[in-house]
């Protein structure tokens, strides 16, 4: 049997990060295959294939297996399930509250040891002719120029100081637990034609979107007078709205300190919920859960047919915010309370490394090579390519020095011709969600076991209050209990 297996293996064909040959199936060589989990759809997975191909060409003998378990929730649940049987991936998309749940497994890798590591690394592999070869990784980590280009706020969210319970995992406040991949935020998509009809224009006659919530509600009132059947605003995430306003109005949401993780049961939150309940009763807005789908679906109807004028949603979903044939969608930052209370939520996937899956014996080599794949994903060329396809903002500033990418941000294709359709909307999103001043507005919430539960509860709180099922005090108290508060 051993001889037969050896002969069969000699005829293997390498394909898509696993070994396959006619007449039988052979398990993946996990010691030389990096398993990557993401929530990418097929359109973005095709883009990521280019990074995988570049990595595999650069480092012969190594493969990447890209697995897409579903959305972020499904991905998190699969990682947690895999950790129970030691088949976890080597690198995965994550949000901070996902990683907070992985820390107890003691498999999360401290990436500080690789981040700026200037050492080289040499490995051996067998070429197609069966000969042993060596390959050297010239530098394990990033150069200082690379690090200087990383957007500080994006990089900051990956450090241990933003997590609760790091000591039990053997980490410190300065441990680099995750690295940002690409980032999204929320944007105000708007119908410029409708604003012009309402007289909301600047000195040049261009549509002028609201900069403050006060302005937004004023325009909603005008819109309901002109088009009684319209719903002026759609908000695609109830939880994001609550969390964002907890920052802008400073009424508190959560805290990294275990002594008082949950802060949201407070008078400021109750006052804000009462305020938006009043606007909801005037039919100024709807939300994803109340509408039953992403509210961007109402955008193409136009205000004359009961549609939206404004939609607040993720820049990562820019391609879904088309005005169709009625208007060309414009993009602006979300409203603010005032110039000093203007925070905007930072979202989008980060990358976490997990050690030891599938009982491999070359742990150090595997982790170093996994980090090389991460470097490929964070390279200037790939970041530019992924941002152009998705609407997510790149995590490093030098991407904007890329000539083709700069054309894209300026609304032009590689030949300098104006972009159209969803490409143009994505371009506007990337432009609106970038820049040093805008990046100062971004914030993230603390991560701890239970922080994802708090986020889920904020969806319920907003919906219960808006639909009159609970008053703010009851809704917040029930959410506090659901999070383990007493």
- Tell me which of 28-32, 39-43, 198-202, 254-258 is least confident: 254-258
Pick the more confident residue, 10 or 91. Answer: 91
What integer is the mean pLDDT of 448-474?
96
User: Which H/E stretch holds residue 413?
Assistant: none
Q: In this predicted structure, what is the pLDDT of residue 10?
A: 38
Q: Looking at the predicted structure, is the pLDDT value of residue 437 above 90?
A: no
The answer to whether 215 touches 293, Cβ cutoff 8 Å, is no
What integer is the mean pLDDT of 245-257?
96
Q: In this predicted structure, what is the pLDDT of residue 258?
A: 85
**pLDDT, averaged across the chain:** 92
Domains of the chain listed by start with CATH number: 14-183+348-401 (3.40.190.10), 186-346+419-482 (3.40.190.10)
Alpha-carbon distance 394 to 400, whole Å?
A: 9
Contacts of 214 (CB under 8 A, 6+ apart): none
What integer is the mean pLDDT of 472-480?
98
Q: Looking at the predicted structure, is the pLDDT value of residue 22 above 70?
A: no
What integer is the mean pLDDT of 113-135?
97
What integer is the mean pLDDT of 42-50?
97
Alpha-carbon distance 203 to 282, whole Å?
A: 31
- Tell me which of 19-23, 47-51, 84-88, 237-241 is least confident: 19-23
Mark 53-90 as b/e (b = at least 16 C-beta within 10 Å). ebbbeebebbbbbbebbeebeebbebbeebbeeeebbb
Q: pLDDT-based confidence at 83, cuts 50/70/90?
A: very high
Q: pLDDT-based confidence at 195, cuts 50/70/90?
A: very high
In percent, the amount of the chain with pLDDT more than 70 equals 94
Pick the more confident residue, 23 or 247. Answer: 247
Q: In this predicted structure, what is the pLDDT of residue 300?
A: 84
Q: In this predicted structure, what is the pLDDT of residue 435?
A: 77
Q: In this predicted structure, what is the pLDDT of residue 26?
A: 62
Global pTM reads 0.87
- Tell me which of 2-6, 28-32, 83-87, 397-401 is least confident: 2-6
Q: In this predicted structure, what is the pLDDT of residue 211?
A: 97
Q: Looking at the predicted structure, is the pLDDT value of residue 374 above 50?
A: yes
The answer to whether 21 touches 51, Cβ cutoff 8 Å, is no
- Tell me which of 25-29, 191-195, 298-302, 340-344 is least confident: 25-29
- Tell me which of 3-7, 76-80, 287-291, 328-332 is least confident: 3-7
Give the three-class secondary structure for 18. strand
Alpha-carbon distance 136 to 257, whole Å?
A: 44
Q: In this predicted structure, what is the pLDDT of residue 324?
A: 86
What integer is the mean pLDDT of 368-393?
95
Pick the more confident residue, 75 or 414. Answer: 75
Q: In this predicted structure, what is the pLDDT of residue 157?
A: 92
What integer is the mean pLDDT of 31-35?
98
Q: In this predicted structure, what is the pLDDT of residue 12?
A: 41
Q: In this predicted structure, what is the pLDDT of residue 8?
A: 36
Q: pLDDT-based confidence at 486, cuts 50/70/90?
A: low
Give strand pairing partners of 201. 207
Q: In this predicted structure, what is the pLDDT of residue 386?
A: 95
DSSP secondary structure code for residue 233 in this structure: E
CA angle 10, 15, 17 (to 5 degrees): 105
Q: Looking at the predicted structure, is the pLDDT value of residue 161 above 60?
A: yes
């Amino acid at each position: 049997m051993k001889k037969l297996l050896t002969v069969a293996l000699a005829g293997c064909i390498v394909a898509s990060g696993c070994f396959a040959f006619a007449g039988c199936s052979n398990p993946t060589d996990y010691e030389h295959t990096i398993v990557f989990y993401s929530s990418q759809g097929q359109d973005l997975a095709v883009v990521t294939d280019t990074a995988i191909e570049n990595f595999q060409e650069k480092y012969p003998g190594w493969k990447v297996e890209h697995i897409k378990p579903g959305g972020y929730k499904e991905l998190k649940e699969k990682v947690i399930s895999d950790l129970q049987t030691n088949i976890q991936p080597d690198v995965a998309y994550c949000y901070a509250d996902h990683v907070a749940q992985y820390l107890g497994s003691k498999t999360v890798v401290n990436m500080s040891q690789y981040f700026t590591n200037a050492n080289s690394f040499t490995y051996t592999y067998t070429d197609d002719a069966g000969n042993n070869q060596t390959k050297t990784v010239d530098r394990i980590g990033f150069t200082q120029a690379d690090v200087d280009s990383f957007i500080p706020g994006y990089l900051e969210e990956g450090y241990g100081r933003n997590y609760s319970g790091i000591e039990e995992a053997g980490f410190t406040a300065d441990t680099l637990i995750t690295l940002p991949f690409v980032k999204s935020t929320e944007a105000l998509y708007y119908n410029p034609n409708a604003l012009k009809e309402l007289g909301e224009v600047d000195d040049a006659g261009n549509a002028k979107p609201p900069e403050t919530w006060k302005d937004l509600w004023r325009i909603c009132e005008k819109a309901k007078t002109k088009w009684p059947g319209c719903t002026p605003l759609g908000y695609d995430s109830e939880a994001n709205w609550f969390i964002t306003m907890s920052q802008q109005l400073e009424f508190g949401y959560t805290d990294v300190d275990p002594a008082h993780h949950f802060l949201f049961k407070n008078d400021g939150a109750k006052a804000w919920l009462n305020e938006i309940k009043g606007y909801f009763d005037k039919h100024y807005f709807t939300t994803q859960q109340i509408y039953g789908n992403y509210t961007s679906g109402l955008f193409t109807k136009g205000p004359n047919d009961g549609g939206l004028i404004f939609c607040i949603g993720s820049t990562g979903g820019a391609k879904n915010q088309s005005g169709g044939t009625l208007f060309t969608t414009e993009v602006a930052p979300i409203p603010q309370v005032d110039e000093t209370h203007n925070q905007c939520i930072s979202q989008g996937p980060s990358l976490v490394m997990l050690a030891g899956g599938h009982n491999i014996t070359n742990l150090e080599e595997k982790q170093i090579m996994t980090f090389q794949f991460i470097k490929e994903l964070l390279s200037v060329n790939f970041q530019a390519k992924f941002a152009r396809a998705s609407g997510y903002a790149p995590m490093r500033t030098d991407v904007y020095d890329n000539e083709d990418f700069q054309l894209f941000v300026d609304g032009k294709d590689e030949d300098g011709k104006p972009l159209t359709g969803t490409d143009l909307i994505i371009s506007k999103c990337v432009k609106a969600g970038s820049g040093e001043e805008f990046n100062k507005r971004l914030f993230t919430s603390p991560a701890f076991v239970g922080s994802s539960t708090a986020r889920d509860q904020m969806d319920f709180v907003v919906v219960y209050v808006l639909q009159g099922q609970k008053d703010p005090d009851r809704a917040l108290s029930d959410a506090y209990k659901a999070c383990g508060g007493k």
